[in-house]
Amino acid sequence: MAESFAAGGIAVITGGASGIGRAAARRAAQAGMRIALVDVNAGKLAATAAELAEIVGNDNILTSTADVADPSAMTALARQVESRWGSPTLLMNNAAAFVAGGAGGILDPVENWQRLFAVNVLGIVNGVQAFLPGMLAAGRPAVIVNTGSKQGLTNPPGNPAYNTSKAAVNAYTQNLARDLREREDSQVTAHLLIPGWTTTGDAEHRKGAWLPEQVIDFMDSAIARDGFFILCPDDETPNETDHKRILWNALDIIEDRPALSRWHPEWKERFAEFMTQDLAPKG
């Protein structure tokens, strides 16, 4: 089975200076890994690197302010990491942009759409393009984790640009996992991390949210059992609730219902009734 945090391994973590990325970097350091930490916030990057260096030493930390949206920057980073340590055993494409949904909704400025897709989608593609060839050539077990979002699965109204970018991450990562599975002798696996309500960045922790460390615990356990969809609960929303919401969205297609019928006034009561039902047991 795959292992996320292995002693002597090499972790590359984008968006690694705060939130879930920082929690992953801390876990990697505690496991005795070498860590390439990527973040566009130079101040937070330096502070996190200093913290990690106290655990594994300065020689085992590499920092970069590369913009994941820049393919040449990611390629240069891969060359730097590989020339210094070798190919990563953990590539965590975690960097993401969030632009609050504007008043225009679908007609939000195109610049918002372009930036979200450049970071949230192409940032992941760039990370895979830069590092996967070396990971395959190394011929050893390795893990790629792409950070998605429940908004890419349930598509709630309010921020269509963000939702659409994360839906693309879902589709891309499924294709990546299948590709790796079909490659002869490949020992690289791909996994989609889908956090629940998580306290990230400088946000004040609120009751009901998970801490980033809880997300990493859940992720590590899921990867150890070779899970692909790492659908995290939180203290407010259990997995069963998420499963029902996701299933309802899928049934919109199968039953030819209105788009996003969960929020359609004529379907409100039927959705509420559906959420009271027990799902059929697995198997």
How many alpha carbons lie under 13 Å from residue 39 in its C-beta half-sphere? 24
- Taking the C-alpha atoms of residue 124 and residue 240, their distance in angstroms, rounded to an integer, is 29
Structure tokens at 156: 């709630």
| Catalytic position from the list 162, 172, 218, 248 | 162
- Taking the C-alpha atoms of residue 210 and residue 236, their distance in angstroms, rounded to an integer, is 9
Q: Which backbone phi and psi does 216 adopt, to 5 degrees?
A: -65, -40
CB 71 within 8 A of CB 97: no
Q: Does an H or E element contain 212, and which?
A: helix 212-224
Known active-site residue 162? yes
**194 bridge partner residues:** 231
Nearest to 161 by CA among 124, 208, 108: 108
Q: Cite the active site residues.
A: 162
